[in-house]
A = this chain, B = another copy of it.
Amino acid sequence: MGIAERKEKQKLEIRKRILEASMKLFVEEGFSNVSIRRIADIIEYSPTTIYLYFKDKDEIFYNLHEMGFLKLQEMNRNLDDIHNPLLRLHKMGENYIQFGLENPEFYDLMFIQPEPMEKLTEMGCEWENGDAALTRLRDTLVECMEKGYIAKTDPTVLSLSIWSTVHGLVSLATRQRLEKLIPEKENVLPMIRQSLNWLINTLDISGKGK
C-alpha cells in the first residue's frame, strides 16, 4: 500500500513543520509568545488545521519538552569518557546548569511549566524522560558510594537533594531572582558555579570521613 504509506509520511511531515515553527517561535520569542495563530502563519495553514495534527496547544508543548530532553542528553555525551564518578557528577551538574542557562525556554518546559506534566497525567503515563535523567544521577551516586568517593546514604534522597540544588540555581537565575540580589550581573554565573563547587566539595569531603 504505497499510497497509505505516503499519506502517513505527509502527515508526519506537517506535524514536523508545526513543531519546527513552534520551536522557532518559542526559542526566539519565548514561551508566552507562541500562539496557534502565529504557528499557523509560519506554516501557512489556517489556525484550526493545527488541531488536525495536535489535540491542543499543550500537546505541542509536550512534544517540545521531549525535544528538550534530547538536547540535554546530547549535551551529556561528554560524560561517557569520565571514569571517576565524582568528577562525572561534577560535570553532570555543570552540564545541567549550562543547559538551563543557555536554553531557558526548553528548561522551562522541562522543569517549570505545568503543561507537559498535565499532558502526561492526561495520557496516563509515566514521565520517562525525567525518570531516565534522575536514574542516571542516582546510578552515578551509587557508583560514588560503592567506590568510596562519597559517604553512604540513601541514594534516592541524595539524588533529590542534588537535583533540587541545581534546579534551584538554574530556575532562580532564569526567573531573575539572582540578578536582583547579586548587583554585578557578571557575578551571577561565578556564584552559581561556586555553589555547585561547594556541593561537590562537600560530597567529596564526606567520602574522606573516618
Contacts and interface: CB of A to CB of B under 8 A. Distances in A.
Interface of A: 111-114, 117-118, 120-121, 126-127, 130-131, 134, 153-154, 156-158, 160-161, 163-169, 171-172, 175-181, 191-192, 194-195, 198-199, 202, 205-206, 209
Given A156-B191, A171-B171, A120 B164 contact: no
Contacts of A198: 153, 157-158, 161
A166 to B, nearest CB: 7
Contacts of A209: 205, 209
A36 B118 CA distance: 26
Task: Report how many copies the assembly holds.
Answer: 2
Give the most central of A134, A164, A166, A198: most B CB within 10 Å.
Answer: A164
A163 B157 contact: no
28 contacts: A111-B175, A117-B176, A117-B179, A117-B180, A120-B180, A126-B180, A127-B181, A131-B180, A134-B181, A154-B194, A156-B191, A157-B191, A157-B194, A158-B198, A160-B169, A160-B192, A161-B199, A163-B168, A163-B172, A164-B164, A164-B167, A164-B168, A165-B165, A166-B168, A168-B169, A171-B171, A202-B206, A209-B209
B112 A171 contact: yes
Contacts of A167: 164, 168, 171-172
Contact of A205 (B169, B192, B206): B206
A127 B171 contact: no
A131 B202 CA distance: 26
A4 B197 CA distance: 59
B127 A175 contact: no
Contacts of A205: 206, 209
Contacts of A176: 114, 117-118, 121
Contact of A191 (B114, B126, B160, B168): B160
* Interchain residue pairs A-B with the least CB separation, the first 9: A164-B168, A168-B168, A127-B180, A117-B176, A167-B168, A161-B195, A157-B194, A164-B169, A165-B165
